[in-house]
Structure 1
């Protein structure tokens, strides 16, 4: 029987892939704590020893179906069409887990959930997966799940439950990585930062968003996913969170949805990236608490 052995909200923002000296200059003499946070996350992965990692990718926007990448191996060099002047030359080489992807489609078909496993070498990669792979993965197999943009909260939770059941049937030890920010409202192109350290939360686009993010982080630490889920349609979707919050909702759906009580451990400072709120949070998953 398979098992979810850990889960995390993970920032993937492009600035983390820039040269360290540049990051330190932008940080007014200190690097982003999200970089050190990746090392802390890696320690968590080492402790739970997953066979596979599922990345819930806020940049793989789909329409009409939940999609799961069923490829066996991925290698190449990534360049972002969004910001190619610095997010380029990202070499990647990692293995997929096709059987788990196909199990997701099988479970979804049983439950009447619109889900397809896709295996096509021409399918584009996205940096919400590539950046996380290059910062965190050390040989684990990887399955990427898309973010269906015409889904409401319940449909994301429903897909998460499909994922959780597929993992249960898989025989694998799996960690879920929800790759994306919390509040995701960008600053204008000609913005002027309020704080000389670019990563400082003072530079988040709207102070109200930073307040909301901190409140959500406190709820994560308490394991109050019930309150997060309850507030999602009226609060977090309207801010909005990155990818309409699909990364988090699918993650928590796999862990039991509103019944999940997995407590979050904050593994980085809460930081700004182009006005968006970013943080790494690890959730210790106990079968009795989470699902």
Structure 2
């Protein structure tokens, strides 16, 4: 029987890529990169076969969608931040069997979900690629990428997808890590000033709310957090509507979850948004 052996909320800020490059911003995201490296090391220590990522940069308009194609190799340039993230090579392998099992299970549970493993031209988004890069994962661990930005879906549906992932994994023989790839608050400043905000938050209220949420997670106050999640996602512009986070807590057990989160990278602002790497104990 398969099992979930790791769960985390992770950052995918493209400024990690410029942090690697020579120049004035070299090393600027060292802490974020180190946090992802630690998560990658834990995946290998725990014998992870497949990493499932809920990617808030994959927008879908109808139904939930999964990319599990066998060959995920290529070179990526972001259409959103081409000046930050360009010509990034990647080499990954999908897990079609597990991806299909998740889709069938979620659909059976009432959320129409499709797995794509024969569409060679379906590309990965950087919410998947960037964390894997800094976790040190290539094709040694398989990947399943799930769209984490739903045009018009309820958080309850994403909770069901998270629950369905657990159900599907138990039917498999996989040891699985789940990553909710997205920011906390996500208000990017206006174009006229955005270049001044690489290391700043867009609104002080967003940062205060983000820090309150992280404190809830560290103290295991899951029910209190879930009570505010819909308004938090709306008022603080949670990335992708925070569907990745709803999947994460659905997977963890929703309001029955009592685990106390561990910070792998302390909170930091990036281009107006609130970021972190946080590990959640799994039962």
1:93–1:207: structure 2 CA closer, same or farther, 3 Å change rule? same
TM-superposed deviation, 1:187: 1.3
TM-superposed deviation, 1:21: 5.5
Structure 1 segment 174-213 matched on structure 2, within 5 A: 174-191=176-193, 198-199=198-199, 203-213=200-210
> What is the CA deviation profile of residues 26-77 of structure 1, one whole-angstrom value per residue up to 9, with x for unaligned ones?
48x8654212212222232233221110011001111221111131121111
SS in 1 for 2:235: coil
Tell me which residue corresponds to 1:289. none
SS in 2 for 1:183: coil
TM-superposed deviation, 1:190: 2.5
Aligned length: 279
Query: Aligned equivalents of 2:49 and 2:72: distance in 1?
Result: 17
Contact kept in structure 2, 1:160 and 1:254, CA below 8 Å: yes
Alignment root-mean-square deviation, CA: 2.0
Question: Which of 226, 232, 238 pairs up with 2:235?
Answer: 238
Question: Which of 35, 52, 57 pairs up with 1:59?
Answer: 57
Tell me which residue corresponds to 1:283. 280
Query: Aligned equivalents of 2:83 and 2:134: distance in 1?
Result: 20
Contact kept in structure 2, 1:153 and 1:232, CA below 8 Å: no
1:22–1:213: structure 2 CA closer, same or farther, 3 Å change rule? farther
1:42–1:240: structure 2 CA closer, same or farther, 3 Å change rule? same
Tell me which residue corresponds to 2:146. 145
4+ residue stretches of structure 1 with deviation over 3 A?
Answer: 19-23, 29-32, 192-195
Tell me which residue corresponds to 1:163. 165
SS in 2 for 1:269: strand
1:134–1:71: structure 2 CA closer, same or farther, 3 Å change rule? same
Say yes or no: does 1:104 pair with 2:102.
yes
Structure 2: 5+ residue runs without aligned partners? none
The farther-off stretch of 35-44 and 217-226 is 35-44
TM-superposed deviation, 1:230: 1.4
1:105–1:35: structure 2 CA closer, same or farther, 3 Å change rule? closer
Contact kept in structure 2, 1:160 and 1:253, CA below 8 Å: yes
TM-superposed deviation, 1:20: 3.2
Say yes or no: does 1:133 pair with 2:135.
no
SS in 1 for 2:72: strand
Query: Aligned equivalents of 1:209 and 1:86: distance in 2?
Result: 24
Query: Aligned equivalents of 1:116 and 1:21: distance in 2?
Result: 38
Query: Aligned equivalents of 2:30 and 2:195: distance in 1?
Result: 16
* TM-score, normalised by the number of residues in structure 1: 0.90
Query: Aligned equivalents of 1:208 and 1:62: distance in 2?
Result: 29
Question: Which of 102, 113, 116 pairs up with 1:118?
Answer: 116
* TM-score, normalised by the number of residues in structure 2: 0.92
Query: Aligned equivalents of 1:126 and 1:117: distance in 2?
Result: 16
1:144–1:241: structure 2 CA closer, same or farther, 3 Å change rule? same
TM-superposed deviation, 1:144: 0.2
1:192–1:51: structure 2 CA closer, same or farther, 3 Å change rule? closer
> What is the CA deviation profile of residues 227-280 of structure 1, one whole-angstrom value per residue up to 9, with x for unaligned ones?
221111223332121111011111111121121222210011211111000000
Tell me which residue corresponds to 1:80. 78
Query: Aligned equivalents of 1:173 and 1:210: distance in 2?
Result: 35
Tell me which residue corresponds to 2:248. 251
